[in-house]
Amino acid sequence: MLLIILTGCNSQIFLEDEKDNIHNALSEYLSLLVKKDYKSASEYVVVYFAEKPYPVQEEIAKEIWIQRVENQYNTNSYLLSFNILTVEPSVDNRDFAQALAEMTVLENGIKNTRNIYVHLELKDKWEIGYYFRENHSMPDPITNIYTGYISQEEMKSFNTKD
């Protein structure tokens, strides 16, 4: 009986420590976006490709991500401020977590505030995977800007610039 209680305590301590680590990583990433330090922010982004046949080096994918974010900034669409509301490490898989953040964004010059969920993955450190709204399926314009997803179209356009 005592062993079960101690194991439960260790697990709870781990979760609390991880909540702090996740919160700190997300806060640092979002702060870098607010400061418009996109190169440093890209170090917190998990890049991925849902479409084949475009395997690409991670550093090229990060360049594409930075270019996308800078282009959106140039059209008056970017993060102004944030407040992290909750952080929840996955109980089933210690390599995943989600957080809820209130984000104030400028979209085409119009200021909006809304709650956005952020999916995080543990690699060498906690990194940002993707964004979603409360019902998990409703797309949000911010997801298209800051997501780590690199589309075939972005790859083609990047490859034809030289």
Question: Whole-prediction pTM value?
Answer: 0.83
Number of domains forming the structure of the chain? 1
Gap between the Cα atoms of 45 and 127, Å rounded: 5
pLDDT in the model for residue 4: 46
Each residue of 125-145: pLDDT tens digit? 999 988 777 666 566 777 778
| Domain of residue 27, residue span | 2-159
Cα–Cα distance, 27 to 106 (Å, whole number): 19
Whole-number pLDDT of residue 139: 64
Domain CATH code at residue 27: 3.10.450.100
Mean pLDDT, residues 141-150: 80
Is residue 22 pLDDT above 60, yes or no? yes
pLDDT tens digits, one per residue of 26-35: 999 999 999 9
**Residues 40-94: tens digit of each pLDDT:** 999 999 887 755 555 567 788 899 999 999 999 999 999 999 999 999 988 777 8
* Higher-confidence position of 29 and 15: 29
Nearest residue to 43 (alpha-carbon basis) of 32, 54, 51: 32
Judged against a pLDDT cut of 80, whether residue 117 lies above it is answered with yes
Determine whether 7 is exposed, middle or buried from the number of CB atoms within 10 Å of its CB (0-12, 13-18, 19+): exposed
